[in-house]
Amino acid sequence: MPEESSLTPLDATGATEAGAIEVPAAGPVGTWLSGQGFDADALGSDHEGVELLGVEPEALPLVATALKAAGFDYLQCQGGYDEGPGGQLVSFYHLVKMAAMLDQLVALAEGNGPLPADAHPEEVRLKVFLPRDGALTIPSLYGLFRGADWQERETFDMFGITYQGHPHPKRLLMPEDWKGYPLRKDYVQPDFYEMQDAY
């Protein structure tokens, strides 16, 4: 986990006066994880303020288990994306404290006041970065979140990231004999596809 940076503020290009890149400070979830002895790199926040954390592949199950025990009990979304030719492939997990939000709604239903306009569940997004020319394998979170089942399969199908320990490690959208991974930015569309006899 990187330490909080003491660099000068960023200019319009994203660099400081000295030319160094600003390291994002850890948010509340990253700070809590660090205090518990888990490694997660602070990546800042997205446009809606959701905290982003970078996690090494081998640490993903441990970090996700700790977060689930801390109340992040709902996997809202799992997916992947390609940073571009020569860049990394990324697998992400968006976790939400759903039970805590439901408790607030129940309290409101019992007449304990209106829901604040800015009320929303606490969220965090874990990202695993994989070099496209390396081993594209990370542990599956299917055992923790059953909703990861088809989502991890779709990410495998479209990007070629393998989820070790997944109970159904096969393509979801493309035919099983399809060559390549269609959502990679370096994917070359075949001229035709000859469907194989299923029998």
The DSSP string of 76-128 is EEEEEEE--TTSEEEEEEEEE-HHHHHHHHHHHHTTS-PPPTT----EEEEEE
Q: Kindly tell me the burial class for residue 23, based on how many C-beta atoms sit within 10 Å of its own C-beta (0-12, 13-18, 19 or more).
A: middle
pTM of the model: 0.80
Interval 87-145: pLDDT, tens: 999 999 999 998 877 777 777 767 766 666 666 789 999 999 999 888 899 999 999 99
pLDDT the model gives residue 193: 62
pLDDT, one tens digit per residue, over 14-44 is 455 556 667 788 899 999 999 999 989 999 9
Q: pLDDT confidence of 151, banded at 50, 70, 90? A: very high
Task: Find out whether 115 and 106 touch, Cβ atoms under 8 Å.
Answer: no
CATH tag, 28-138: 3.30.460.80
pLDDT of 195: 61
Query: What letter would DSSP give residue 51?
Result: E
Residue 12 confidence (pLDDT): 44
pLDDT digits (tens, 9 = 90+) for 39-87: 899 999 999 999 999 999 999 999 999 999 999 999 999 999 999 988 9
CA distances from 150 to 13, 46, 166, 177 (A): 39, 25, 10, 19
